[in-house]
Amino acid sequence: VSGAVMAQLIAYEPWGLAVDPLPGAVFHAVVAGSCWLRMPGRAPQHLMPGDVVLLPTNTPHDLVSSADARTDSLARFQDDTRLTPEGDMILQGPGAATRVLCAAYDYDHEVAHPLMSQLPPVLHIAAGMPGDDGGVAETLRLLALELGGRPPGSRAAVGRLIDVMLI
Q: What is the pLDDT of residues 55-86, one digit of tens each?
A: 988 789 999 999 999 998 877 766 665 677 77
In this structure, are strands 72-73 and 25-32 parallel, antiparallel, or unpaired?
unpaired
Q: How far apart are CA 105 and CA 22, in angstroms?
A: 10
Inform me whether the pLDDT recorded for 90 exceeds 60.
Answer: yes
Inform me whether the pLDDT recorded for 157 exceeds 70.
Answer: yes
For residue 117, the model assigns a pLDDT of 72
Q: What are phi and psi of 159, to 5 degrees?
A: -60, -45
Inform me whether the pLDDT recorded for 104 exceeds 70.
Answer: yes
Q: What is the pLDDT of residues 4-54, one digit of tens each?
A: 666 789 999 999 999 887 777 888 999 899 999 999 999 999 999 989 998
What's the one-letter identity of residue 29?
A
Q: Is 137 helix (H, G, I), strand (E, B) or coil?
A: helix
Q: What are phi and psi of 146, to 5 degrees?
A: -65, -40
- pTM, two decimals, is 0.83
For residue 114, the model assigns a pLDDT of 64
For residue 61, the model assigns a pLDDT of 94
